[in-house]
Amino acid sequence: MRWCFDTSALIEPWVRLYPPDLFAPIWQKLTELCEAGDIVAPIDVLHELEKQKDDLHDWAESEANEMFLDPDRRDVAARIWTVG
């Protein structure tokens, strides 16, 4: 199964629900899912996170190669449609 995340799907758990200092295993699993290509997000999500320049942005930037996709590219658009 694949998931396509928006910005709030990262901010809400990071800040309020599952902060990484208390729930490190969750964020490790998310990292693994990103690396496997099971979690994707439009590159705009990374651009939105850049505005904060915080630990979440640092984590997201470390996942940039695997997770964040340019939705204008035809192959990426096709990949996003296969999510689910």
Task: Return the closest-CA partner of residue 40 out of 72, 83, 11.
Answer: 83
Q: What is the pLDDT of residues 21-56, one digit of tens each?
A: 999 999 999 999 999 989 999 999 999 999 988 999
Q: What is the pLDDT of residue 69?
A: 84
Residue-averaged pLDDT of the chain: 87
Q: Mean of the pLDDT values across residues 54-81?
A: 79
Between CA 29 and CA 76 the distance in angstroms is 23
On the question of pLDDT at 84 being above 60, the answer is no
Q: What is the pLDDT of residue 11?
A: 96
